[in-house]
């Protein structure tokens, strides 16, 4: 979401086309903070914050960086889904994930 938001701001797209991304990023940040809090790793939040802000500014240092990042988003998203599926296959435990959820996720990545 960070790459999509920065890309659309960088190229001057109208606000209506990317208004959902700040909301999605805020949801992910809150979820991530909950995960850090309940796992007892809240001290790592500063490191992740610095990485997030650094990545935000690094994306537009050169035009080719933001373009490359945008092109790699689909590949990275698909690779993360593959890694999740591989982990599920090895552990033979799907937890709370249903077949419908995984199908919709795979469809959106494709």
Domain boundaries in the chain? 1-64
12 Rama class: left (phi>0) / alpha (psi -120 to 50) / beta: left
Distance CA 7, CA 19 (A): 13
Annotate 43-76 with b (16+ C-beta within 10 A) or e (fewer).
Answer: eeeeeeeeeeeeeeeebeeeeeebeebbeeeeee
Per-residue pLDDT, 16: 86
Residue 108 has pLDDT above 80, yes or no: no
Question: pTM of the predicted model, to two decimals?
Answer: 0.62
Per-residue model confidence (pLDDT) at position 60 = 80
Q: Of 22, 3, 10, 8, whose CA–CA distance to 68 is shortest?
A: 3
CA end-to-end distance (rounded Å), the chain: 17
Residues 54-79 pLDDT 10s: 887 888 888 888 888 888 888 877 77
pLDDT value for 97: 65
Confidence tier at 94 by pLDDT (50, 70, 90) = low
């Amino acid at each position: 979401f960070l790459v999509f938001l920065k890309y659309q701001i960088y190229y001057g797209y109208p606000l209506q086309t990317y208004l959902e991304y700040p909301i999605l990023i805020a949801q992910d940040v809150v979820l991530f903070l909950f995960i850090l809090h309940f796992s007892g790793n809240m001290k790592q939040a500063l490191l992740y914050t610095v990485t997030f802000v650094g990545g935000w500014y690094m994306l537009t240092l050169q035009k080719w960086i933001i373009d490359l990042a945008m092109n790699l988003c689909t590949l990275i998203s698909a690779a993360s889904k593959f890694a999740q599926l591989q982990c599920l296959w090895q552990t033979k435990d799907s937890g709370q994930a249903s077949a419908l959820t995984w199908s919709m996720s795979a469809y959106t990545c494709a």
